[in-house]
Amino acid sequence: MAKTELVRKLDAAIAGKNLLKHPFYQDWQAGKLSREALQLYATQYYKHVSAFPGHLRVLAARTEGPLQKLIQENLGEEENPAAPHPKLWRDFAAAVGVSEDDVTCCPALPGTKNVVQTFREICGDRTVAEAVATLYAYESQVPEIAAIKMEGLAKFYGVNTPKGLAYFAVHEETDKLHRAAWRDWLEKHAEGDEEEIVRTTNAALDALWGALDAVHCENAGVRK
């Protein structure tokens, strides 16, 4: 039986905590962020970007068959030797004036640590359905977020080179495919307590929101 009700509940949770509603991204879209705010965001969110391939690797080791293949394809894109996604993020950071050393060595704020730890715990220790739902909740939002970010970067913040925008351009397209693939798997194969799957997904959504809270609060005194 198709898990249409589960996916409906997940979509409702995602809509309620959509990251584009967060004040930090609202300020981004309105051109209200300072250069310092963008720089802090670049250093902090890199922790999540660089950890994401590891989350996929942990989950792939727990699966088999078509799902494992799906995860490995996703991982292959993340670690593409020609354009590994963490490197693309560092290129974005450089475009807003952050050195590679600052990106890789900047201490993580508590909200940043929490999103990395939450995703790793879910992908490593929770049920496979909970992990896939969490990845769906994250990657389903990314195409629209990436488009909005690129628009704001070019319009307000002077970032308009292909290199500086490459991370977002890649994710605007690839995560449309990931969104569809995760959704298809959930509809056809998700097993377990639907309420628990939704609770775990909400915890991941809260962690993503909290990572933006961290940089937004830190920059409360420096925003334009």
Distance CA 105, CA 96 (A): 17
Check if the beta carbon of residue 139 is closer than 8 Å to that of residue 56.
no
- 92 close to 42: Cβ distance less than 8 angstroms: yes
Sorting pLDDT into bands at 50, 70 and 90, what band is 107? very high
Q: Which of 24, 55, 54, 19 is nearest to 40 (CA)?
A: 24
- 145 belongs to a structural domain: yes
Is 70 exceeded by the pLDDT of residue 219? no
Q: Specify burial of residue 113 (Cβ count, 10 A radius: 0-12, 13-18, 19+).
A: middle
In a domain, 165, yes or no: yes
Q: Rounded CA gap, 192 and 101, in Å?
A: 44
Give the CATH number, domain containing residue 148: 1.20.910.10
Range(s) of the domain holding residue 28: 4-218
- The reply to whether 205 falls in a domain is yes
Average pLDDT, rounded, for the chain: 95
Cβ partners under 8 Å of residue 195, min gap 6: none
**Per-residue pLDDT reduced to its tens digit, 26-64:** 999 999 999 999 999 999 999 999 999 999 999 999 999
**pLDDT(222) > 80:** no
In a domain, 224, yes or no: no
Amino acid identity, residue 120?
A: R
The pTM (predicted TM-score) of the whole model is 0.95
Confidence of residue 221 (pLDDT cuts 50, 70, 90): very low
**What pLDDT, on a 0 to 100 scale, did the predictor assign at position 218?**
67
The string of pLDDT tens digits covering residues 127-180 is: 999 999 999 999 999 999 999 999 999 999 999 999 999 999 999 999 999 999
Question: Does residue 223 form part of some domain?
Answer: no
Domain membership flag for residue 12: yes
